[in-house]
Amino acid sequence: MTTVNYWAIVPAAGSGQRFGGEVAKQFQPLGDHLIAQHSLSRLLNIPCIARIIVPCDMASPYWLQIPAASDPLVELVAGGSERVHSVLQGLLAIGDRAESSDWVLVHDMARPCITSGDINKLISELVGHAVGGILATSVTDTLKTIGADNHIQATPDRNLYRAAQTPQMFRYGLLVKALETMLSDGQTPTDEASAIEYLGEQAKVVEGRRDNIKITHREDLIIAAAIMNQQETEQCV
């Protein structure tokens, strides 16, 4: 029986323009650690992950403040100009080690509240799946479509929509092909799932926790800190 390996790629080369400030958001303090430390340590809690690849600015001095970056399972590689380029750099960095059928989990460094339970749920529900899938949550707010003049045009059925999260997990060979195809066609995927869709493949949606938020704006740090305190109380980290 062929052994299937699990790899994680956590792109961290971005500057976080919407967050603002001179220090990238992955290096912002959150409780006793920087955001990147929280995100990496939670992936390190998953025993089946063979290697965590971090496409980033390797010259940044902040990596010296992140203990997880020195873990033997964590490998820093040069990132790209955009997220998609960083993810592809990470994929190519394991090209001589990964098999086409291996699984790759791509996770946002700015989602430090991901729980081991959600990661394990994603992995277990996709065992045997030919393509892969993503964590996502149902949409509870009423959605509106608007025109160029900011006037409401319609109210779509929110039951048809899901808010995508990460990790997003796909077969290594398929993900490389999807990203390279989109880029060669002059297209930029919004996430890994959109690249898979571009090839005409269908990814599975696995329901995730709502507290797996992405830190985008400064006020998100307050929310993330409260979530982490609650997760520690529940012992669900």
* Each residue's pLDDT tens digit, 161-206: 999 999 999 999 999 999 999 999 999 999 999 999 999 999 999 9
Q: Identify the domain containing residue 60 by its residue range.
A: 6-234
**Enclosing H/E stretch for 164:** strand 162-171
43, pLDDT greater than 90: yes
The owner of tokens 């750099």 is: 89
Q: Are 104 and 9 in contact (CB under 8 A)?
A: yes
Give the pLDDT confidence score for residue 70 in this predicted structure: 96
The answer to whether residue 223 sits within a structural domain is yes
18, pLDDT greater than 70: no
Mean pLDDT for all residues in the chain: 94
236, pLDDT greater than 90: no
The pLDDT of 96-110, averaged and rounded, is: 97
Provide the angle, in degrees to the nearest 10, between the axes of the packed helices 35-44 and 116-125.
Answer: 50
Q: Range with the lowest mean pLDDT among 46-55, 123-132, 228-237?
A: 228-237
The answer to whether residue 67 sits within a structural domain is yes
Top-confidence residue, 61 or 2: 61
Query: Phi/psi at 219 (nearest 5 deg)?
Result: -70, -15
* Structural domain count of the chain: 1
Nearest to 191 by CA among 38, 82, 31, 70: 82
The answer to whether residue 175 sits within a structural domain is yes
The answer to whether residue 1 sits within a structural domain is no
The answer to whether residue 187 sits within a structural domain is yes
Nearest to 111 by CA among 233, 216, 229: 216
The pLDDT of 45-62, averaged and rounded, is: 96
Give the pLDDT confidence score for residue 3 in this predicted structure: 86
The answer to whether residue 216 sits within a structural domain is yes
The owner of tokens 């809690």 is: 45
The answer to whether residue 143 sits within a structural domain is yes
Nearest to 154 by CA among 140, 143, 141, 138: 143
Give the pLDDT confidence score for residue 194 in this predicted structure: 98
The owner of tokens 């980033």 is: 56
The answer to whether residue 41 sits within a structural domain is yes
Query: Would you place residue 237 in the very low, low, confident or very high pLDDT band (cuts 50, 70, 90)?
Result: confident
CATH number at residue 119: 3.90.550.10
